[in-house]
Structure 1
């Protein structure tokens, strides 16, 4: 499936959780890690934190070989999700339709702070306004970083309706 702004927005809405706490973060993080290990050989970083405090709730690598650069990507993707309240993939696709960069649209958007590459995803909860957490995957192609998060949340929701 080719991703569009509309399809990613639909994914974000479909991935709303009934609740979110450290146990939910651990379960989703564990699912994502297991799925990455099954499908990919490249090592990734999986990071889940609260939105309001950046309190780390889950952190793991899928295996040996990640680099310090992965955490730079994590923090830059997290910054996009927290600032604009949407996935980094949706922001990227939105900018592509405008044929502009983040820096051109938002003049103060420092590329050392923000990265519009797939793999940052907002955690939203039914009945709660705004973003309550952020999930970031770094290490794969950006479409794969994005899809392993969506697949992980959907798998969690299927087990915990």
Structure 2
């Protein structure tokens, strides 16, 4: 089987308002979401990651769960090289989406806009929300505000119904690959 042609990702917005508006837009809202939808979306994400140029592609985990976080609808690696640490990132990004109802990338941009010390965004996030951290002033134990956790929304449903997580690329690419694939997926299935 021939390798897919290389298709680089665009850079995602870093504007919190633009991100939250996009996340709730019709271009990223599913008409319905079933196990079959999750499977097909997961395959599309895996295929897209494998089509990235070498400068953007790394072994990654793709995970899709229901909103209760306990029901895995799809999970796969893109290629050899992922580690158990990717699973930890998946868990923490998923928790962020479920608790705050927005992508982990949008939450990062929200916190980053509130501090001048960009190197301590995770610590500011933990302290400002009373989140437990094993290291005083450090990253939260159960949440991550790195790109790659994304809410699944369905038309006429107020709550997030599921979460898509990519872990393994640069955080901005973890986020952007989800956005681009969902937009393309919905254009081609509607």
Bin of the TM-score, shorter chain as denominator length: over 0.9
- The residue that corresponds to 1:137 in the other structure is 166
1:34 and 2:47 correspond: yes
Unpaired stretches in structure 1, ≥5 consecutive residues: none
- The residue that corresponds to 1:125 in the other structure is 154
Name the count of aligned residue pairs.
Answer: 161
Higher helix residue share = 1
Q: CA RMSD in A?
A: 1.3
Q: CA deviation at 1:53?
A: 5.1
TM-score norm. by structure 2 comes to 0.81
- Which moved further from structure 2: 99-108 or 141-150? 99-108
Where do 4+ consecutive residues of structure 1 move more than 2 Å?
none
What aligned pairs does 1:1-161 form with structure 2 within 5 A after superposition?
A: 2-14=13-25, 15-39=28-52, 40-52=56-68, 54-99=70-115, 101-110=124-133, 111-161=140-190
Taking the aligned partners of 2:144 and 2:21, their CA distance within structure 1 comes to 22
TM-score norm. by structure 1 comes to 0.95
Unpaired stretches in structure 2, ≥5 consecutive residues: 1-10, 116-120, 134-139
Taking the aligned partners of 1:73 and 1:21, their CA distance within structure 2 comes to 24
The structure whose Rg is larger is 2
Taking the aligned partners of 1:55 and 1:71, their CA distance within structure 2 comes to 15
Taking the aligned partners of 2:171 and 2:69, their CA distance within structure 1 comes to 26
